[in-house]
Amino acid sequence: MEATKIKVAKLKKARIEIIPLIDVIFFLLATFVLFTLSLNRILSLPVNLPVPNPNTQTLKEEDETVILQVSAEESLFWNREPMEFGELPGRLTAYKSNVENAGKQPRIMVSNDEKAKFGQAVRVLDEIRKSGIKSFSVETTNTRATGK
């Protein structure tokens, strides 16, 4: 009997194809370059912000602005004068009519100390709104002592 010979293919050596690898690296490089170029297109404007100076007097003597201060003990101060919360609606109405009769706009600044409760300040703002005064300011940094 004749033995049949089976031809076994020779195993090829594994090799790394460099061309597809270069294509992938080039694609990643192009993506990052385009991304960094788009970052340079974000434009900004220089802004000179005001610097607060607590040593200067912000309110002039002839200024008719009323300062309403709310303290931690839930007491109110009208231009540094203590008052009860029940007096606020009447004072606001009288102030508004006096200032409008003089041909000016009523101006109010609401201020509170660090430990004052938010609810009391909201009640003061509600009373200002109910009295018909449309413009008022809220002091965001308190540089003055309550009632002083």
pLDDT in tens, 110-128: 888 777 777 888 888 899 9
CATH 3.30.70.3000 corresponds to the domain 66-138: no
**Cβ contacts of residue 145 below 8 Å, gap of 6+?**
113
pLDDT in tens, 73-89: 778 888 888 888 888 89
pLDDT in tens, 6-38: 887 788 888 888 998 999 999 999 999 988 887
Q: What is the pLDDT of residue 111?
A: 86
Average pLDDT over the chain reads: 80
Report pTM: 0.52
Q: What is the pLDDT of residue 59?
A: 47
Q: What is the pLDDT of residue 12?
A: 82
For the chain, domain boundaries: 66-138
Q: How far apart are CA 51 and CA 48, in angstroms?
A: 9
